[in-house]
Chain A
Amino acid sequence: MIQAILVFNNHGKPRLVRFYQRFPEEIQQQIVRETFHLVLKRDDNICNFLEGGSLIGGSDYKLIYRHYATLYFVFCVDSSESELGILDLIQVFVETLDKCFENVCELDLIFHMDKVHYILQEVVMGGMVLETNMNEIVAQIEAQNRLEKSEGGLSAAPARAVSAVKNINLPEMPRNINIGDLSIKVPNLSQFV
Chain B
Amino acid sequence: MVMSSLKLQDLIEEIRGAKTQAQEREVIQKECAHIRASFRDGDPLHRHRQLAKLLYVHMLGYPAHFGQMECLKLIASPRFIDKRVGYLGAMLLLDERQDAHLLITNSIKNDLSQGIQAVQGLALCTLSTMGSAEMCRDLATEVEKLLLERSPYLRKKAVLTAVHMIRKVPELSDTFLPVCAKLLHERHHGVLLGTITLITELCERSPAALKHFRKVVPQLVQILRTLVSTTGYSAEHSISGVSDPFLQVQILRLLRILGRNHEESSESMNDLLAQVATNTDTSRNAGSAVLFETVLTIVDIRSAAGLRVLAVNILGRFLLNSDKNIRYVALTSLLRLVQSDHSAVQRHRPTVVECLREPDASLSRRALELSLALVNSSNVRAMTQELQGFLETCPLDLRADCASGILLAAERFAPTKRWHIDTILRVLTMAGTHVRDDAVANLTQLIGGAQELHAYSVRRLYSALAQDISQQPLVQVAAWCIGEYGDLLLEGSCEETEPLQVEEEEVLALLERVLQSHMSLPATRGYALTALMKLSTRLRGDNNRIRQVVSIYGSCLDVELQQRAVEYNTLFRKYDHMRAAILEKMPLVERGGPQADEEVKESQEATRLLEPAPVPTEPQASKLLDLLDLLDGPSEDSQQPAPVDPSAEGTLIHLLDLPCAPLAPAPIPNLKVFEREGLQLNLSFVRPPGTPTLLVITVTATNASEGDVTHFICQAAVPKSFQLQLQAPSGDTVPAQGGLPVTQVLRVLNPNKAPLRLKLRLTYNHYGQSVQEVFEVNNLPVETWQ
Contacts and interface: CB of A to CB of B under 8 A. Distances in A.
Interface string B213-244: 00000000000000000000000110100001
A159 interface: yes
A131 interface: yes
B363 interface: yes
A127 B167 CA distance: 12
B244 A132 contact: yes
A80 B293 CA distance: 11
Interface string A73-87: 000000010111101
B562 interface: no
A167 interface: no
B289 A82 contact: yes
B423 interface: no
Contacts of A92: 239
B661 interface: no
Contacts of A43: 359-360
A25 B63 CA distance: 8
Given A113-B56, A114-B85, A129 B327 contact: no
Contacts of B129: 20, 125-127
B163 A126 contact: yes
Given A46-B362, A84-B292, A92-B239, A155 B79 contact: yes
B397 to A, nearest CB: 10
Given A46-B359, A84-B329, A110 B16 contact: yes
B88 A117 contact: yes
A85 B194 contact: no
A125 B288 contact: no
A67 B129 CA distance: 27
Interface string B580-619: 0000000000000000000000000000000000000000
Nearest to A86: B289
Nearest to B124: A125
Contacts of B361: 46
A110 B253 CA distance: 37
Interface string B1-38: 01000001100100010000000000000000000000
Contacts, number: 162
Interface stretch (B153-161, B385-393, B453-461): B153-161
Interface stretch (A97-105, A145-153, A169-177, A180-188): A145-153
Interface string A39-53: 000010111111100
B325 interface: yes
A144 B83 CA distance: 12
B707 interface: no
A162 interface: yes
Nearest to A166: B2
A15 to B, nearest CB: 8
A47 B63 CA distance: 36
Contacts of B160: 125-126, 128, 130
B362 A130 contact: no
A155 B288 CA distance: 52
B350 interface: no
A163 B117 CA distance: 34
A121 to B, nearest CB: 5
Contact of A46 (B193, B363, B365): B363
A14 to B, nearest CB: 6
Contacts of A144: 80, 84, 118
Given A82-B292, A125-B125, A131-B190, A110 B81 contact: no
Interface in B79-112: 79-81, 84-85, 88, 92, 95-97
Contact of B325 (A87, A111, A129, A159): A87
A11 interface: no
Contacts of A117: 88
B686 to A, nearest CB: 60
A63 B128 CA distance: 23
Given A14-B59, A92-B239, A87 B8 contact: no
A134 B348 CA distance: 40
A16 B60 CA distance: 9
B156 to A, nearest CB: 6
Given A125-B129, A129-B193, A151-B80, A22 B96 contact: yes
B357 interface: no
A29 B60 CA distance: 8
Contacts of A51: 362, 365
B245 interface: yes
Task: In the A-B complex, list the 10 residue pairs whose CB atoms are closest, starting with the nearest.
Answer: A126-B128, A84-B289, A46-B360, A47-B324, A22-B95, A29-B61, A47-B328, A126-B164, A131-B190, A85-B289
Interface of B: 2, 8-9, 12, 16, 45, 52, 55-56, 58-61, 63, 79-81, 84-85, 88, 92, 95-97, 116-118, 121, 124-125, 128-130, 153, 156-157, 160-161, 163-164, 189-190, 193-194, 197, 236-237, 239, 244-246, 249, 253, 285-286, 288-289, 292-293, 324-329, 332, 359-363, 365
Given A82-B292, A114-B84, A140-B118, 9 more contacts: A20-B129, A22-B96, A46-B361, A83-B325, A85-B245, A114-B56, A131-B190, A131-B193, A155-B45
19 contacts: A14-B59, A20-B129, A46-B361, A47-B324, A84-B329, A88-B246, A111-B12, A113-B59, A118-B84, A130-B194, A131-B156, A131-B193, A133-B236, A133-B237, A136-B153, A143-B117, A148-B84, A155-B45, A163-B2
